Homo-oligomer: A and B are copies of this chain.
Amino acid sequence: MKKKPLLALALMLQFAFVAQAQQEPVDLDMVHRIKQEGLQNSQVMKTAFYLTDVSGPRLSGSPGLTRANEWAVKQLTGWGLKNAHQEEWGTFGRGWEVEKSYIAMAAPYYQQLIATPKAWTPGTNGEVKAEAVLVKLEKEEDLQQYKGKLSGKIILTQIDNEAKTTFAADAKRYSEEELHEMAMSLEASRSQSSWTPERIAEYRARMALRNKANEFFKEEGAAVILSTRGGMHGTHFTSNGAPYAPDAKPALPELEMGLEDYNRIVRLLEAKQPVKLEVETKTRFFDKDMKGYNVIAEIPGTDKKLKDEVVMLGGHIDSWHGSTGATDNAAGVAVMMEAVRILQAMGVKPKRTIRIALWTGEEQGLHGSRGYVKNHFGDPATMKLTKEQEKLSAYYNLDNGTGKIRGIYLQGNDAVRPIMEAWLAPFHDLGATTVTIRNTGGTDHLAFDAVGLPGFQFIQDEIDYDTRTHHTNQDSYDRLQADDLRQAATIVASMVYHTAMRDKKLPRKPLPKPRQTS
C-alpha cells in the first residue's frame, strides 16, 4: 500500500513528460518578425491591384488570365523566389472573352439594362433590335406552342424569383457562437442538409429542361436568350452558357442579368405590353493554345536532409468573367503571394522547400490543382502514388473571399489538431482562434486530400461573399478588406514557416480508397 502513492506520482510525472514532449514548438521570435513584416510593410493590396484592376477578368483560357499569370511569375521572381514559371497541368479547352456588351430596352421606353454575356456564348454579330418573348416553361411539352413564333426574337423564360428587399446586412463576420459551434463539431462531414436528394433531382431536371429549351430556341432561330440567377440592385451572378470544349455545339448568344431588370420585362410581357430590346455583344474564342497552366515558384529548402521535402500554399488565380474576381479569388492569391513575400523579405532559410502554386481552371472543376496533383503526387482514380507524394508535408489553400482568418478546417485529420492549435495560438489576438474537425469543400485543397495528402483550407469571415461578390459582376477591387488580407497573409506566412521548420512532416490521415475524389 505504501508504494502506491509513489507509483501514482511516477505515472503522473511520466504523463506530464509525454504531454510536454507532444507540446508543439512555436518560434515566437519568428512570429514577432512575421507580424512586423506582414502587418507593418504589407503589399497585399498592391498585389491585389495588379491581379484585379490591371489584369482584368481572369476566365480560364482568356488573355486576362495569361496577363495575371505572367505578372505573377515576374513579381514572384522580383521578390527573389526561385524557379518561378508557368507549369502546364493538362488540356483545358477554348479561351473566351467579352469584347462588347450592350443591352437596353428600346420600347415602351428607353432603359439601359445591366447584363453580362454568359461565358463561352457567341456574340450577336452586330446589333439586334427585336421583340422580347416570354416563354412559359414548366415542362418540355410547353415548348410546342412556341413553334414557328421565335425566329429573330429575344427569349425570356418565366421566373418566380422576387427581388425581395432584405432587412439583413449584406456583409457579416462570424459570431463567437458560430465559431464555437464549428469548434465543437462531432464529425468532419456534416450532412449536406441544403442539397437533399430531392433538391439535387429537382436541380438536374431543371437543368435538363433548360438545355432542351435552349436547343429548341436555337432550332427556331431565336436571336438572344436572357436569363437570371438572382442578384439585386445592379449586382448579378454570372456563369457559363456553353461548354469550353473545342467541339462544343454552338449555342445562342445569352446574357445574364439581375432580378429587377429581368422581372420588369417579364411583368410588361405578362401585361401584354410589347417590349423591344436592343442588344449588341461581341465575344471572342481563343483556341491556339488549349493547355492550362499553373504558376509555381519556390523558396528553396536549406536543410540537407529536409530540403527535398515540400510545404505548399496556394489558391486559384482564375476567375469568372463578370468582373475582376477580387474576392474569388484574387484575395486568396494576393494573400498567398504576400505570405511568401513576407518570408522572402525576412530572408528566412526554411529547412523544407516552400512552394507557392496559383491554380487555374478551378472554376470549371479544380482542373489546375487536380492536374498538378496527378502529375506530381498520384492518381486518385487508382491511388498509384509517386515518390514526390511522400515528400509533401502539407498544402494550405485560401479561397473563401476577402474575410480574415478565424481558424482552420482540419479536414477530418485529428492528428494535426494539437499542431494547428499551437501554431494559431499567437494569432488569437488577431481573431484566429478556431480549429474544427470539419471538412470544407469546393476548392483546390480537395485535390491533395484525394491522394492522402494533408490539404487545408482556412476558416474566413464571409463578409459579403454570398450576397455581393461570389461569381458576380461586382467582384471588384473595392470589395477587398485590406486589414483582413494583411491579417490572413501574416498568419499563413507563420503556418507555412512552422510547417517548413518542423522536425517531422505533418501527420496524415489513412489513405483514401481509389476514386474517392470527394
Q: Which residues of A contact B (CB under 8 A)?
A: 49, 53-57, 63-64, 67, 97-102, 104, 108-112, 114, 116, 162-173, 232-236, 258-260, 263-264, 267-268, 271, 273, 323-324, 463-464, 468, 473-474, 476-479, 481
Structural contact, A169 and B168, CB atoms closer than 8 A: yes
Contact of A102 among B102, B111, B258, B464 (CB under 8 A): B102
Known contacts A53-B268, A167-B173, A478-B162; is A110 also within 8 Å of B114 by CB?
A: no
* Cα A170 to Cα B233 with chains together (Å): 11
In the complex, 16 of the A-B residue pairs with CB atoms within 8 angstroms, ordered by the A residue number, are A53-B267, A53-B273, A54-B108, A56-B111, A57-B109, A67-B109, A100-B104, A101-B104, A112-B116, A162-B478, A165-B170, A166-B170, A169-B169, A233-B468, A234-B474, A260-B478
List residues of chain B with CB within 8 A of the CB of A162: 478
Closest to A102 in B: B102
Minimum CB–CB distance for A165 against chain B, Å: 5
Minimum CB–CB distance for A436 against chain B, Å: 24
Minimum CB–CB distance for A440 against chain B, Å: 23
Minimum CB–CB distance for A67 against chain B, Å: 8
Structural contact, A166 and B169, CB atoms closer than 8 A: yes
List residues of chain B with CB within 8 A of the CB of A473: 234
* Cα A98 to Cα B234 with chains together (Å): 19
Structural contact, B165 and A49, CB atoms closer than 8 A: no
Structural contact, B165 and A172, CB atoms closer than 8 A: no
Structural contact, B111 and A114, CB atoms closer than 8 A: no
Structural contact, B264 and A476, CB atoms closer than 8 A: yes
Known contacts A49-B267, A56-B108; is A169 also within 8 Å of B172 by CB?
A: no
Structural contact, B165 and A463, CB atoms closer than 8 A: yes
Contact of A169 among B98, B114, B167, B474 (CB under 8 A): B167
Closest to A262 in B: B478
* Cα A110 to Cα B273 with chains together (Å): 34
Given contacts A165-B464, A170-B233, A232-B478, 12 further A-B contacts (CB under 8 A): A53-B267, A54-B273, A56-B108, A101-B112, A165-B463, A234-B235, A234-B473, A234-B474, A260-B476, A260-B479, A264-B324, A264-B478
Contact of A264 among B53, B170, B171 (CB under 8 A): B53
